[in-house]
Amino acid sequence: MAAVKKSDVELRKESHIKVCLLEDVESDVSSGFDDVCLVHHAIVDLDRDEIDLSCEFLGKKMSAPLIVEAITGGAKIAEKINKNLARACEEVGVGFGVGSVRAALVDDALWDTYKVRDVAPTIPILSNIGLVQLIDEYDIRQIKDSCKEIGADGVAIHLNAVQETVQPEGNVNWKGSFERLKYFCQNLGVPVVVKETGAGICRETAIMISRAGASMIDVGGLGGTSFSMVEHYRDKKGQGLLFKNWGIPTVCSLVECRQAVNTGIIASGGVRDGVDAAKAIALGADYAGVALPVLKAATRSHKEVVSVLSRIIDEMRSCMFLCGAGSVSEMKKKDVVILGKTREWLLARGIRMDNLSNRESVDALREKVKF
């Protein structure tokens, strides 16, 4: 019997996984978290171990505001990775997103690489598809059916113009993309998260996304995995290396988006530990997203992923303790100072930061702090 030929999409997904595991695919540009200083509180009326990180995402409870971002799917080698990631997320109690389901829309045999409800029955799960594929490749029925197929609670529509630009087989005709985004947001019947994939979202785009009717924005900023660099390793004659550091650093994107819209926000792109995650919450994010830090662990076992996620959550709790925040909602009210290149960027964009660093006046504090 002749071997079953893999689709071009499956081969590409397989290649992406291998490159991310074997090569240095991170941007040289900082995500900006090093420029963010949380204000230390030397006296806190808290028990660190009683700090409440619980929250809700897509109508489901989570133990902490943490989401394992879309990493993979659509290749047989992705099945084990997704199962380990989802099983770990279920054990820890955080959200999970699968990679783009495009490969399974091309080849039904690949749906099993995305199906994780058997190991993750209660956590929030996001399906995933690229905006450019919604322009003329797939209709709303197919995307609705894909959610049912994998038991997803919502859909992440990803924006990857940089990757499409440098990819040899990329689609660079994005005419009509906003109207299609609006149509899908308003007619899918499930929550839609609009996410970047490593180049960030500016305030102008955030306003467009909000007006389109998206439930949430995932900033997917510069400073973490560079898919331009991933494509460079696939085709070294292309433009991937040139655009390795293209985009808006994560913290800049987060602050821009938060000050422009009231939509829920996920901060991702270079979030590497619980300190970064806590800073993101203090800057106005509702959730922090991680991907690369758990990928290698997921190739080995779900227990290793549990270890990584538990460490991040524990680090978040320590940060909140040292800031005097007993809950996620309290952490959002804590003062945060932005320095360095991140401050330069935000000032150049005309964005005020005193509402972050001086959230309460001295007089108000004197009234509040009474012993």
| pLDDT of res. 279 | 99
DSSP readout, 192-261? EEEEESSS---HHHHHHHHHHT-SEEE---BTSB-HHHHHHHH-TTSSTTTTTT-S-BHHHHHHHHHHH-
CA–CA distances in Å: residue 278 to residues 124, 225, 320: 21, 20, 7
| pLDDT of res. 302 | 97
| pLDDT of res. 2 | 38
Q: Hey, what's the torsion of the CAs at 183, 186, 187, 193, to 10 degrees?
A: 90
CA angle, 293 then 127 then 129, to 5°: 95
CATH, range 8-368: 3.20.20.70
| pLDDT of res. 5 | 53
- Residue 51 CA to residue 165 CA, distance in Å, equals 45
318 touches 10 (CB < 8 A): no
> How do the domains of the chain map onto residue ranges?
8-368
Q: Which of 91, 7, 2 is nearest to 313 (CA)?
A: 91
What 3-state DSSP class applies to 37?
strand
pLDDT in tens, the chain (371 residues): 334 456 777 787 788 888 888 888 889 999 999 999 999 999 999 999 999 999 999 999 999 999 999 988 888 889 999 999 999 999 999 999 999 999 999 999 999 999 999 999 999 999 999 999 999 999 999 999 999 999 999 999 999 999 999 998 899 999 999 999 999 999 999 999 999 999 999 999 999 999 999 999 999 999 999 989 988 988 888 899 999 999 999 999 999 999 999 999 999 999 999 999 999 999 999 999 999 999 999 999 999 999 999 999 999 999 999 999 999 999 999 999 999 999 999 999 999 999 999 887 656 666 666 55
- Residue 63 CA to residue 52 CA, distance in Å, equals 8
Q: Which of 189, 174, 9, 2 is nearest to 107 (CA)?
A: 9
What backbone phi and psi angles, to 5 degrees, belong to 124?
A: -70, 135
What 3-state DSSP class applies to 55?
strand
CA–CA distances in Å: residue 273 to residues 99, 143, 214: 22, 33, 28
DSSP readout, 267-312? EESS--SHHHHHHHHHTT-SEEEE-HHHHHHHTT-HHHHHHHHHHH
Q: Residues near 309 by Cβ (< 8 Å), separated by ≥ 6?
A: 66, 68, 88, 89, 92, 94, 294
| pLDDT of res. 243 | 95
- Residue 218 CA to residue 264 CA, distance in Å, equals 9
CA–CA distances in Å: residue 46 to residues 6, 222, 334: 56, 35, 15
| pLDDT of res. 339 | 98
Task: Determine which helix (DSSP H) or strand (DSSP E) holds 87, and give its type and residue range.
Answer: helix 76-92
